Structure 1
Amino acid sequence: MLRGRIKFIIAIAVIVVTLSYLVYGGVKEAKVYYLTVGELKERVPSVYTDKVRVSGTVVPGSIKKDLDGGLEFKITDGERTLDVHYKGIIPDIFKDEVEAVVEGVYTPENVFQANVLLAKCPTKYESLDGLEKGENI
């Protein structure tokens, strides 16, 4: 009877340790800092090894598509700019002066290698034809 209890306690301990390890690994992997361009630049060089998410406005005229399907552009927080290289699906609303969020790593070459690109939708609806609310077509 005592042997059965010891085996049961050992099995429970193994399960608890395994679940703790999986939860710790998942939280560590999912943890991503959310920074502005200025905050990212202030954390150099400690930020080189971290996966981070950076938000900023796309600098007008900075969007360039590569021949291999990549995208190079700059984002700004109004004071500092960040060179971004991205390869992946480009959101439909991505264009100059759109607020963008990029996720990836900042390299010692001062280039942000993004593996996720999000373009924020405008917070206010703007009519394409310039009509004011309540006007007839």
Structure 2
Amino acid sequence: MTRKQRRLVMIGGAGVVLAVAVGLVLNALRDSIVFFSTPKMVAEQHVAAGKRFRLGGVVEPGSVKRGDQLQVSFKVTDGDATLPVAFKGILPDLFREGQGVVAEGSLDKAGVFEADTVLAKHDEKYMPKEVADALKKQGHWKDDYEKKPPNATSANATSASAAEATK
């Protein structure tokens, strides 16, 4: 083999190895690109017990039950489906019924989502467009989600400049 042929074989081999590596990485990330799955998506995809994922939705009103040793159970709904959640730990301060929530964990064999992390969403205006559209379609959308909060910093700046002017 000449030097040129060896170089072409090395470059071709490296290209094949790189293509296989990229293919494996993309295949592994295919299911985890979604930020969270809704209860309806979990039911449709028949998620296997023990597989870790994020569950997102709204805490169903009247479903929160607190037990001993920081045990909490509640239901997460997306309007179409509901999934029971079990969590042991301290919940975020913003966690409450009717509020958006994202939980990380896995399903057990009984179909209960065993969460090891619970994140409360602080404001629905940061909701993904697809989720907001689904809530509007199902009639769970609140008109005040789209209202913008008053700009507190400009109000404070205005009052501070007014106080300086009176001195």
TM-score normalised according to structure 2 size: 0.53
CA deviation vs aligned residue, 1:77-135 (integer Å, no higher than 9, x gap) = 5676532112455222112332323343333313111234222224556xxxxxxxxxx
Larger Rg: 2
More displaced stretch, 70-79 vs 100-109: 70-79
Query: Is 1:8–2:11 an aligned residue pair?
Result: yes
CA deviation vs aligned residue, 1:26-67 (integer Å, no higher than 9, x gap) = 3344446622x4x268538x2334535231224336231541
Q: Where is the strand percentage greater, Structure 1 or Structure 2? A: 1
Question: Percent identity of the aligned residues?
Answer: 24
The residue that corresponds to 1:57 in the other structure is 59
Compared CA separation, residues 54 and 108, structure 1 to 2 (3 A):
farther
In structure 1, what is the Cα distance between the partners aligned to 2:10 and 2:123? 60
Q: Secondary structure at the match of 1:23?
A: helix
TM-score normalised according to structure 1 size: 0.61
What RMSD over aligned residues (CA atoms) do the two structures have, in Å?
Answer: 3.3
The residue that corresponds to 1:132 in the other structure is none
In structure 1, what is the Cα distance between the partners aligned to 2:57 and 2:65? 16
Q: Secondary structure at the match of 1:48?
A: coil
Q: Secondary structure at the match of 2:48?
A: helix
Q: Contact 1:40–1:54 at 8 Å: present in 2 too?
A: no
Q: Where is the helix percentage greater, Structure 1 or Structure 2? A: 2
Q: Contact 1:87–1:115 at 8 Å: present in 2 too?
A: yes
Structure 1: which 5+ runs fail to align? 126-137
Number of aligned pairs?
Answer: 121
Q: Contact 1:102–1:114 at 8 Å: present in 2 too?
A: yes
Q: Relative contact order, CA 8 A, sep 6+: which one is greater?
A: 1
1:93-112 equivalent positions in 2, closer than 5 A: 93-112=94-113
Structure 2: which 5+ runs fail to align? 125-143, 150-167
Q: Contact 1:63–1:74 at 8 Å: present in 2 too?
A: no
Q: Contact 1:60–1:97 at 8 Å: present in 2 too?
A: no
1:28-107 equivalent positions in 2, closer than 5 A: 28-31=31-34, 34-35=37-38, 37=39, 39=40, 42-43=43-44, 46-49=46-49, 51=53, 53-60=55-62, 62-67=64-69, 69-77=70-78, 81-87=82-88, 90-107=91-108
